[in-house]
Amino acid sequence: MTSVNLSSEFKQQAQQNEKEPVSLAAQDRVGLEFSAPVSYAPVKVKRSGKRPFTFNGMLLLKSETHHNSNSLGSPGLRIWETDNKGFVAQITIRNSSNACLPSNTVLEADTMEDLLVKLNDFDPNGRFVFPMENLENIKQHALRDTYLSYQKTADQRQKAYQNIVSQLLLQNAKNTTLRKVNS
């Protein structure tokens, strides 16, 4: 059971920045959810291995994929525009099962184009849970089956992530085209 327990002294301080800047109705739909711009607000996002990243931002989109118990993880993506006109993306990878803590990666860029390049370069398969034990007793076919199973999962995760990024690229291309037509 994964958990973090905090004593009361730090609870009050920790709750100050809990609220999301924008609430989105549908949370578990496949694909991108674009939010209507509201206003900049303080944002605090988790980063694996690092202290949280804080900034003033406006949530532009949120993407979640359905969790499949047979898969090792489904990527989630959130993108904000910051008050200094930069962009921040948080990629959440769920590992192994709901019991595991998700891995969170934060990317920053000055422009949306730069952010898209970084998102495109990101490897969603950076984390795998691979419990290899009792190797002296493992059979060759069992090892092969395990390898094939993980390879399949890696492919699924890669495709799910690429699907999200490609939708984002498409949307950005459309917006760019519209901007050119209107100018």
Partner 1 sequence: MSSVSVYSDNDGSVSVSSDQGDASVISTPSSFRENRFSLKRTGQRPYTFSGSEICTSTSHSVGPALWYELNVYRSHEGQYIVEIKMFNKNGKFKDRNSVFEVSSIEELSSFLEHYDPAGDISNNVSLEGDDMPLSLLALEGIALKIRIEEARNQFKDLAGELLYQLNSH
Chain residues binding partner 1 by CB under 8 A are 1-11, 13-18, 44, 46-52, 54, 92, 94-104, 127, 129-136, 138, 143
| Closer by beta carbon to partner 1, 116 or else 124 | 124
Report the half-sphere exposure of 41 (CA within 13 A, side-chain side): 15
* Closest CB 181 distance from partner 1, rounded Å: 39
Contacts of 3 by beta carbon, 8 Å cutoff, 6+ apart? none
Would you say 139 or 179 has its CB closer to partner 1? 139
Q: Are the beta carbons of 91 and 124 closer than 8 angstroms?
A: yes
Three-state secondary structure call for residue 105: strand
CB of 42 to partner 1, least distance (A): 12
Name the minimum Å distance from CB 101 to partner 1.
4
Closest CA to 44 of 32, 59, 27: 59
**Nearest to partner 1 of 65, 92 (CB atom):** 92
Q: Say which residue the tokens 């019991």 belong to.
A: 99
Q: Nearer Cβ to partner 1, position 47 or 66?
A: 47
